[in-house]
Amino acid sequence: MSLLPSSPLLDETLRVVARRYRLPAMDLSSFQVSDAGAAAILAFTIEQARRAVVRGAAADAGLKRQFIEALARMIREAMREDFGDPGFQAMVLRHRTPSVREYASLSAQADQDRRSVHTVVNAIAHPGKQHRLAPGRQREEMSHLHRLASSASWSALSDAAGRLLAMPELGDESSLKRGLTRLLESPALERLRRLDALGTDEHVIQYQSLWGRNGPRSGSAGAIAQGSASQQRGAAVETLATQAIEALARRLNDRDGAEATYRVVTSMRVPASIPGSSDRAKSEWDVVLLRRAQTADASTEWDVCLLVEAKASVDAATTDLPRLLRGLRLLAHAEEGVVYPFKTKQGMVNLRGATLRSLSTDEAGVPEVVLYCCDAPVEVIPRMLSAASRMQLLSAPASMAFASALAQKEHVDTHDLDPVWHDLLASPRWGAVLNQYPTLQRVRELMVHTEDLLLTVDARPEAVQGNPCDGG
């Protein structure tokens, strides 16, 4: 029997709150392939294949043909110069062009290389070290060296270090000479110089242009601004979710009176003392509804009633779900007789391990303890193929080879995409794609709009308890 605290008002609120993001079960009998886009056909076909696998039946040849043709169509659409997918086109260009692959590889570690070079330069030419030298050529060269590092002029930096090293007044054993030698022999500096040189390659320029159309480059001012805006967006949704759950806590306190005390905490961080694997598990919960536990002594302990995650979009929640489920499993590993201290923005709270162990991690029980809160508008036509599934389909080796041939105006054969179908049915790596529509349904079933939640909480008690509908 579950030890989680129960309240009729809480249960009824979760039951009747509108689920405007909900997806119905896919009706395979009424789906019209002729009227659908490539992504919808793929979602429909994948779901048919999944149901066949569940039944232990083999997917027929017609289903395979439908999948291959839809995948080829999606790749062709993504490769269109006018309305295609510049991000995917950049991936294809990297796949087929050695210079772009090298550039992308070097770019991936460029931040670390820049930090490494700056560390070496600061060790020998920091302004504080320059001031210890008498005015003259050596001091000027060191100042120039530091400016070149600050401006990311890597080839010029190497040349300047060579000139400074050649100055006879350095001496054979000076720390400056050793530092300059270390700089010139640095693999990080050599990689940064090579990255600069590749920047003039025509394919690299095209690659940069494609990524520029897809969004600001990582580390750029635009990317920083976009990241800041995304953080603000997430914080705004979390604030709305917190307000709704706080309103719910007030209603629960008014209803239950002295029998129970509810409170809300935010940014609740899971302590390392909870046993179980924390690998890729959610370690911080956005908003949590707690109820004071009945204890034999005067200590203040709490039980979890509801875990809430704030997300700015359905896609963000879909990507987050596996991590959330691992986070639930981690909490459920708490030991029954232990009280665990959790850090929150409101201070430390002590949660009983006995009730944490009762947190449901199965499909039927998760909706009773978890909500995703969102304030994004509902799509006019819900996306049936998740963004992650689409990307895995497009980035499969066979898909990349097919797209590369298209880009080079070579003959293509849709049968070259057969390996994607076989992997979908047989490879564990493709399990998330095969089950992508039930996952979308599950996520959307857990999602409520912050406005709907607040409206339900603010409704008259009798209206909430007397409404037999599910709010959908």
Q: Which range among 7-16, 31-40, 116-125, 298-307 shows the weakest confidence by mean pLDDT?
A: 31-40
pLDDT of residue 380: 83
| Mean pLDDT, all residues of the chain | 88
In whole angstroms, give the CA distance from residue 323 to residue 377. 24
Q: Do the Cβ atoms of 271 and 315 come closer than 8 Å?
A: no
* pLDDT band for position 468 (cuts 50, 70, 90): very low
Please give the single-letter amino acid code of residue 219.
G
Residue-wise pLDDT tens digits, 421-458: 999 999 999 999 999 999 999 999 999 999 999 999 98
Taking alpha carbons only, the member of 212, 316, 327 closest to residue 277 is 327
16 pLDDT above the threshold of 60? yes
* pLDDT band for position 32 (cuts 50, 70, 90): confident
pLDDT of residue 141: 81
pLDDT of residue 227: 62
* pLDDT band for position 470 (cuts 50, 70, 90): very low
User: Domain-by-domain residue ranges, the chain?
Assistant: 8-12+233-376+444-466, 99-215
* Tokens describing residue 6: 């129960």
DSSP 306-343: EEEEE-SSHHHHHHHHHHHHHHHHHHTT--TT-EEEEE
466 pLDDT above the threshold of 50? no
Residue-wise pLDDT tens digits, 109-166: 999 999 999 999 998 888 877 666 667 777 788 888 899 999 999 999 999 999 888 8
Residues 6+ apart with CB under 8 A from 331: 270, 274, 304, 356, 359
The residue count of the chain comes to 472
Q: Which range among 8-17, 359-368, 372-381 shows the weakest confidence by mean pLDDT?
A: 359-368
Q: SS3 for 263?
A: strand
Please give the single-letter amino acid code of residue 39.
A
Q: What share of the chain in percent tops pLDDT 90?
A: 68
In whole angstroms, give the CA distance from residue 234 to residue 237. 5
pLDDT of residue 178: 86
* pLDDT band for position 26 (cuts 50, 70, 90): confident
Q: Give 257's DSSP letter.
A: G
Q: Do the Cβ atoms of 408 and 96 come closer than 8 Å?
A: yes
Higher pLDDT: 465 or 68? It is 68
pLDDT of residue 467: 44
220 pLDDT above the threshold of 70? no
241 pLDDT above the threshold of 60? yes
pTM of the model: 0.82
Average pLDDT over residues 18-23: 94
- Helix then strand then coil, % of the chain, to nearest 5: 60, 10, 30
CA dihedral 112, 114, 120, 124 (to 10 degrees): -160
Q: Do the Cβ atoms of 264 and 287 come closer than 8 Å?
A: yes
* pLDDT band for position 224 (cuts 50, 70, 90): low
pLDDT of residue 1: 41
In whole angstroms, give the CA distance from residue 210 to residue 208. 5
Taking alpha carbons only, the member of 279, 283, 338, 278 closest to residue 307 is 283
Residue-wise pLDDT tens digits, 310-337: 999 999 999 999 999 999 999 999 999 8
In whole angstroms, give the CA distance from residue 25 to residue 302. 38
Residues 6+ apart with CB under 8 A from 227: none
pLDDT of residue 361: 77
236 pLDDT above the threshold of 70? yes
Here the contacts of 137-141 (C-beta below 8 Å, separation 24 or greater) are 137/167, 138/164, 138/167, 138/169, 138/170, 141/167
Q: Which range among 66-70, 113-117, 169-173, 419-423 shows the weakest confidence by mean pLDDT?
A: 169-173
Please give the single-letter amino acid code of residue 255.
R
CA distances from 62 to 39, 49, 65 (A): 18, 11, 5
Average pLDDT over residues 59-79: 95
Q: Do the Cβ atoms of 421 and 430 come closer than 8 Å?
A: no
